[in-house]
Structure 1
Amino acid sequence: MTKKKIIIIGGGAAGFFCAANLDESKFEVTILEQNSDVLQKVKISGGGRCNVAHASFDPKELVQFYPRGNKELLSVFHKFQPGDTMDWFEKRKVPLKIENDNRIFPESNSSQTIINILQEEVSNKNFQTHTKSVVLEIASKENQYLITTSTNNYLADYVIYTTGSSPKSLKMIQELGHKIIEPVPSLFTFNIKNDTLKDLMGTSFPYAKVSIPQLKMDESGPMLITHWGLSGPAILKLSAWKARELAALKYQFEIVVNFLGIDLESAEETFQTFRREHPKKTIGSSKIFEVTTRFWHRILWLSKVDLDKNISNISGPELLKILQHLCQNKMKVNGKSTYKDEFVSAGGIDLKEIDFKNMRSKLLSNFYVAGEVLNIDAVTGGFNFQACWSEAWLIAQDLNASRF
Structure 2
Amino acid sequence: MQLKVAVIGGGAAGYFAAIKAAENKAEVHLLEKTSKVLGKVKISGGGRCNVTNATFNPVQLSKNYPRGEKFLKKAFNVFNAEHTVKWFEDRGVKIKEEPDKRMFPESNDSQTIIDCLQKEAFKCHVNLRLSSTVTGLTSKEGNKIGLVINGIEEVFDRVIVCTGGQPKIEGLNWLSDLGHTIERPVPSLFTFKIQDKKLASLMGLSVPDAKIRVIGEKKLQETGPLLVTHWGVSGPVVLRTSAWGARALSDKNYHFSILISWFNKYSDQDLRVFIQEQKEKLRKKQIKNNNPFTLPQRLWDYCLDKIGIPESKMWLDLSKKELNKLVEMLLSDEYEVKGTTKFKEEFVTCGGVSLTDIDVKTMQSKHINNLYFAGELMDIDGITGGFNFQAAWTTGFISGCSASVLLE
Task: Give me the whole-angstrom Cα distance separating, in 1, the residues matched to 2:156 and 2:334.
Answer: 56
| Residue 274 of structure 1, CA deviation | 2.6
Does structure 1 residue 211 correspond to structure 2 residue 213? yes
Pairing partner for 1:271 from 272, 275, 279: 275
Partner SS state of residue 79, structure 1: coil
Q: Is the 2:22–2:126 contact (alpha carbons within 8 Å) kept by the matching residues of 1?
A: no
Task: Give me the whole-angstrom Cα distance separating, in 1, the residues matched to 2:241 and 2:68.
Answer: 17
Offset from partner CA, 1:144-170 (integer Å, 9 cap, x none): 222112265422110000000224652
Task: State the TM-score, normalized to the length of structure 1.
Answer: 0.96
Q: Matched residue pairs, number?
A: 403
Cα gap change, 1:401/1:292 in structure 2, threshold over 3 Å: closer, same or farther?
same
Q: Indicate the residue corresponding to 1:191 in structure 2.
A: 193
| Residue 124 of structure 1, CA deviation | 1.0
Q: Indicate the residue corresponding to 2:154 in structure 1.
A: 154
Q: Is the 2:3–2:406 contact (alpha carbons within 8 Å) kept by the matching residues of 1?
A: no
Offset from partner CA, 1:65-95 (integer Å, 9 cap, x none): 0000001111100111100000000000111
Does structure 1 residue 46 correspond to structure 2 residue 49? no
Cα gap change, 1:61/1:25 in structure 2, threshold over 3 Å: closer, same or farther?
closer
Partner SS state of residue 271, structure 2: helix
Task: Give me the whole-angstrom Cα distance separating, in 2, the residues matched to 1:204 and 1:259.
Answer: 10
Does structure 1 residue 221 correspond to structure 2 residue 220? no
What is the root-mean-square deviation in Å for CA atoms of aligned residues?
Answer: 1.6
2:240 counterpart letter in structure 1? K
Task: State the TM-score, normalized to the length of structure 2.
Answer: 0.95
Offset from partner CA, 1:101-154 (integer Å, 9 cap, x none): 000100111111111111111111221111121111112222322211226542
Task: Give me the whole-angstrom Cα distance separating, in 2, the residues matched to 1:386 and 1:21.
Answer: 15
Task: Give me the whole-angstrom Cα distance separating, in 2, the residues matched to 1:151 and 1:121.
Answer: 30
- Range with bigger deviation, 337-346 or 292-301: 337-346
Does structure 1 residue 292 correspond to structure 2 residue 296? yes
Task: Give me the whole-angstrom Cα distance separating, in 2, the residues matched to 1:203 and 1:263.
Answer: 23
Task: Give me the whole-angstrom Cα distance separating, in 2, the residues matched to 1:292 and 1:154.
Answer: 61
Task: Give me the whole-angstrom Cα distance separating, in 1, the residues matched to 2:188 and 2:123.
Answer: 36
Q: Is the 2:363–2:372 contact (alpha carbons within 8 Å) kept by the matching residues of 1?
A: yes
Task: Give me the whole-angstrom Cα distance separating, in 2, the residues matched to 1:342 and 1:198.
Answer: 23
Q: Is the 1:191–1:333 contact (alpha carbons within 8 Å) kept by the matching residues of 2?
A: yes
What runs of 5+ residues in structure 1 fail to find an aligned partner? none
| Residue 313 of structure 1, CA deviation | 1.4
Q: Is the 1:60–1:74 contact (alpha carbons within 8 Å) kept by the matching residues of 2?
A: yes
Q: Indicate the residue corresponding to 2:284 in structure 1.
A: 280
Q: Is the 1:210–1:255 contact (alpha carbons within 8 Å) kept by the matching residues of 2?
A: yes
| Residue 400 of structure 1, CA deviation | 4.4
Task: Give me the whole-angstrom Cα distance separating, in 1, the residues matched to 2:47 and 2:189.
Answer: 18
1:388 counterpart letter in structure 2? A
Q: Is the 1:350–1:375 contact (alpha carbons within 8 Å) kept by the matching residues of 2?
A: yes
Does structure 1 residue 141 correspond to structure 2 residue 140? yes
Task: Give me the whole-angstrom Cα distance separating, in 2, the residues matched to 1:74 and 1:403.
Answer: 26
- Range with bigger deviation, 195-204 or 63-72: 195-204
What runs of 5+ residues in structure 2 fail to find an aligned partner? none
Task: Give me the whole-angstrom Cα distance separating, in 1, the residues matched to 2:78 and 2:148.
Answer: 34
| Residue 397 of structure 1, CA deviation | 2.5
Does structure 1 residue 232 correspond to structure 2 residue 235? yes
